[in-house]
A and B are shown apart, each in its own frame.
Chain A
């Protein structure tokens, strides 16, 4: 089993719709969780950190479920510019700040 698993998609989303997708992780010692956005042939950029209580940043909402070991990302009122690959990132729980990256979920927002 991969340490961080994501549905690769693509999720084809009409503009203005809501899309949600999950990521599962296998290391129960993981302490921190992040969503990054990566555009084609570009570097990953931090979208948001994920906190135990869940958090929201504008149209983006992230949730963490420690019992079932998954995190989710929901995008409301999708924009064409939201088209990207979303990377689920989990720390390894050991000393230092090593992260494990999922393979990404591709989202395509269409007019």
Chain B
């Protein structure tokens, strides 16, 4: 089945630790995105990538890093510099032309131990 797979579903981070969230898609989409959602709030864009080996900061990139070495994969690292990492993290992809809807993976819930 075509889709977007995020793992793990739940993740716990210790103080001072970096953690990496996985996102893989087999939709052959060029563009991929990472969002953060806090309870009762809308999605906020962390990073996005329109093509392999290129990515841009979104609205709240501080404390996060990404890579895009393969078209199918766009992992997000939550670094120890992100002081409030507890949130629901959503990965999305779309065709890279404008006016295209984005399709989401089922998310990773990150909590602080």
Contact = CB atoms under 8 A, between A and B. Distances in A.
Q: Is B a genuine binding partner of A?
A: yes
Contact of A97 (B41, B99, B107): B99
B100 to A, nearest CB: 6
Contacts, number: 59
Given A43-B104, A44-B104, A97-B100, A103 B94 contact: no
A32 B98 contact: yes
Contacts of A34: 101
A44 B90 contact: yes
Interface in B78-108: 88, 90, 94, 96-107
Interface of A is mostly: loop
Contact of B107 (A32, A43, A49, A95): A43
Contacts of B42: 4, 87, 101-104
27 contacts: A8-B40, A31-B98, A31-B99, A32-B98, A41-B88, A42-B107, A43-B90, A43-B105, A43-B107, A44-B43, A44-B104, A46-B101, A46-B102, A46-B103, A91-B98, A96-B48, A96-B50, A97-B94, A97-B96, A97-B98, A97-B102, A98-B45, A98-B58, A99-B102, A103-B40, A103-B42, A104-B42
Q: Lowest 6 CB-CB distances: which A-B pairs, in order?
A: A32-B99, A43-B104, A101-B43, A101-B42, A103-B42, A46-B101
